[in-house]
Structure 1
């Protein structure tokens, strides 16, 4: 039976330059070369050879809810929350309580915020 590992996450974005700037500024992701094609899709390094692909779709509208998200884990949740606050980026717990995090039943602390296109991002300390 085959085994699998996460390779990349791909999302459609209306303004690829604005999305790249957001992910660089907020998550400190580094842009890497798109080795797959000569398209305007831009790639960001997520760490451990994982990638986030930002696919330009100028007329695209994201319609999603918090249940559709991707999660990133950090060992310094407090520092990242301070960073979000300094950038004036709103975050919430699962229920949508502004500027509140949540401790799951398994003890993992988490919160959510959205990127410029409306995609939900969970940050947790499950490292």
Structure 2
């Protein structure tokens, strides 16, 4: 009998300032906070729907540099509407090559943008269906 494949439970992101990062992910991505068992003020958990959860964990140092290839990706219905949201929050974005304010278009037509969270973690947002 074939064994069922593993499923993603959560992604953990190590952050410097939990309050700042919680506000960022909640406001930029409209994520819903879900209960977390630790209740120690060092964790925020967000629902990612059927994909699992995003766990923010406080304690990182400010001096890390992250490679763009190591990123989280969120899909949205409209890149244009999402860009307006970023602009209203003064969050700069770029295409894969690093051109500020530009949108990358994949070979399959999916539009992508890249930007960083408050700790410098790279984020991709695309309009994949």
TM-score by structure 1 length?
A: 0.90
Query: 1:114 maps to what in 2?
Result: 116
Q: Is the 8 A contact 1:45 1:52 kept in 2?
A: yes
1:68: which partner in 2? Answer: 70
When structure 1 is superposed on structure 2, of 55-64 and 71-80 the one drifting more is 55-64
Confirm whether residue 31 of structure 1 aligns to residue 30 of structure 2: no
Structure 2: runs of 5 or more not aligned? none
- More divergent stretch after superposition (85-94 vs 58-67): 58-67
CA drift of 1:49 comes to 5.6
What are the residue-to-residue correspondences of 1:1-127 with 2, within 5 Å? 1-35=3-37, 37-39=38-40, 40-48=42-50, 50-59=52-61, 61-127=63-129
SS of the aligned residue for 2:48 comes to: strand
Q: Return the offset for 1:58.
A: 4.8
CA apart distance, 1:66: 0.6
Q: Which runs of 5+ in 1 are unaligned?
A: none
Cα RMSD for the two superposed structures: 1.6
Quick check: 2:32–2:47 contact (8 Å CA) kept in 1?
yes
- What SS does the aligned partner of 1:43 have? strand
Deviations 1:48-107 (A, max 9, x none): 362110111153543211111011111122111111111110000000000111111111
TM-score for both structures, normalised by structure 2: 0.89
